[in-house]
A and B are shown apart, each in its own frame.
Chain A
Amino acid sequence: MPRKILNVPQIASSEITPESVWLDRRNLMKAAAAGALVNTLPTQAAAAPAAKPLSYSQAKCDACSTEETLTPVEDATSYNNFYEFGTDKSDPAEHAHTMTTDPWSVEVSGLVNKPGKLNLEDVLGGFDLEERIYRFRCVEAWSMVVPWIGFPLADLLRRFEPTADARYVAFKTLYRPEEMRGTRSFTSVIDWPYKEGLRLDEAMHPLTLMTVGLYGKTLPNQSGAPLRLIVPWKYGFKSIKSIVSIELTDRQPQTSWQELAAHEYGFFSNVNPEVDHPRWSQRYERRLPSSLFKPNRVPTQLFNGYAEQVAGLYAGMDLSKYY
């Protein structure tokens, strides 16, 4: 009889503590610790629905994944730009829980044969979800690597049947001042709601992802719950969050950042190391998490490294003119 070399105790799967219970215990301990100090503070967790695990498949296409190190989930969900909740990077994680995301619906209108409303349940139940690991490059010269969960925007648009005249897609974020403290700031110069847009061929590109989750779970509010766009070859602000309206048009829609400073933020805003932002260089990016002594500066790639897939969309265009 072969001798056992290692005497590893067997653990029945039923004995393993489920993550949710384990997390609850942690929260309980945290709450107890916090309660010992001040028991008058309302718990934030109660306001925002907890992230739910999603079922999804792995994406098959190349460029739908990368071997690069993932940004830790805590960093990706605590360092965000979502100006509806304030302009500091920590504001969204702190304040976005005030946003109601259930019920939620998206209005699809404009140049489509079948205009209509899409409820969140239709979105989550009606499309095949897949995980895609994309580089995410912010115009502010930092970047992350995030496993998103979603489905191609093209699948959604096809259901509403864009007409032959449709050439652009305009998106709008929820605008609900009573739930969004950043929109109530009187020194903010953005004309709410936040608006973004894509050319129809960009919107139909297989890499363009309608996103409902990250790291295996539904999106937390600060990441644009319950439904956001991810366009991996463009600067992050193009990837509009918490979408309530999708309109197909024949004219290039006005975007929030263009309205604010057209010379700094163009309609295309493709990641391009050769075209600097007027106030800073785009040649390098800080891949987060970065540290002070090891800043983790990496060279920025044309189209954020997706040139092979998307450069064809811009053939013959002067990228320094159409930035």
Chain B
Amino acid sequence: MGVPLYRLPWSDRLWWALVFALALSPFLLIVYGVLGNTLGPDPAEALMHQTGEWAIRLLVLVLAARPVAQWGWPALFRYRRMLGLFMFFYATLHLVVFAQVYVGWSLAILLEELIERPYVLVGFAGWALLIPLAVTSTDRMRRRLRQHWRQLHQLVYGVAVLGVLHVLWLSRSDIGDAVLYGVLLGGLLCWRAALVLRRRFTARR
């Protein structure tokens, strides 16, 4: 971290490019689907589904980065910031598609959706929490905020809770997705909580 890309050795640059390309590939597939008209008769629904799903998958990866690093595979941790920003990217796309196809860019309809439909409100709140995280993701911001940076970025746990709630409230008859992401993100949050508790316990002794 903090080392500009062009100063990194070739192998690292290659890895960086590979991870970047992987994270971008769902978006390219979506663009290909839109241009080639292969998203089926209801592209709105397909796009909402795909952008939302990739946002929450990336959230799982971001939160898994630390435990996975502790278990001896630090690679994911190195790209945590990039994956987090990609998560924000897909969440924003999700919102843009919602605005275009379901809301028609009408503020009145958006307000109505936010007031009347809790899953929209929860999803929107999750996205809003991501904004300060994305804005303060640069090295300079991190230095400037010092210890507050870590506190601020703990908001990501709130995003995880809101994300699972969003998926659960969307479910109609099959709660498979909600259970999957609930278990994954819940497990990762528990791991964090256990870490904090253990630290406190040992500090007190």
Distance of A78 Cα from B176 Cα, bound (Å): 23
Question: Which chain B positions have C-beta within 8 A of A78?
Answer: 40-41
Contact with B along A78-99 (1 / 0, CB 8 A): 1100010001011000000000
Cβ-defined contact, A185 with B174, below 8 A:
yes
Distance of A83 Cα from B173 Cα, bound (Å): 9
Cβ-defined contact, A289 with B42, below 8 A:
yes
Cβ-defined contact, B101 with A292, below 8 A:
yes
Majority secondary structure, B binding face:
helix
Q: How far is the CB of A48 from chain B (nearest CB, A)?
A: 20
Query: Which B151-196 residues have C-beta < 8 A from chain A?
Result: 169-170, 172-176, 179
Q: Is B112 an interface residue (CB 8 A)?
A: yes
Distance of A187 Cα from B177 Cα, bound (Å): 9
Distance of A78 Cα from B41 Cα, bound (Å): 9
Question: Which chain A positions have C-beta within 8 A of B104?
Answer: 295, 297
Give the interface size class of chain A.
20 to 34
Nearest 6 A-B pairs (CB), nearest first? A75-B41, A187-B176, A289-B41, A288-B41, A87-B174, A188-B174
Given A276-B116, A279-B117, A281-B112, A290:B42 Cβ within 8 A? yes
Majority secondary structure, A binding face:
loop
A interface residues, Cβ below 8 angstroms from B:
71-72, 75, 78-79, 83, 87, 89-90, 140, 142, 185, 187-190, 260, 276, 278-281, 286, 288-292, 295, 297
Query: Which B1-57 residues have C-beta < 8 A from chain A?
Result: 34, 37, 40-45, 47
The contact of A290 among B43, B109, B119, B174, by CB within 8 Å, is B43
Question: Which chain B positions have C-beta within 8 A of A281?
Answer: 109, 112-113
Closest chain B residue to A139, Cβ basis:
B172
Q: How far is the CB of A300 from chain B (nearest CB, A)?
A: 14
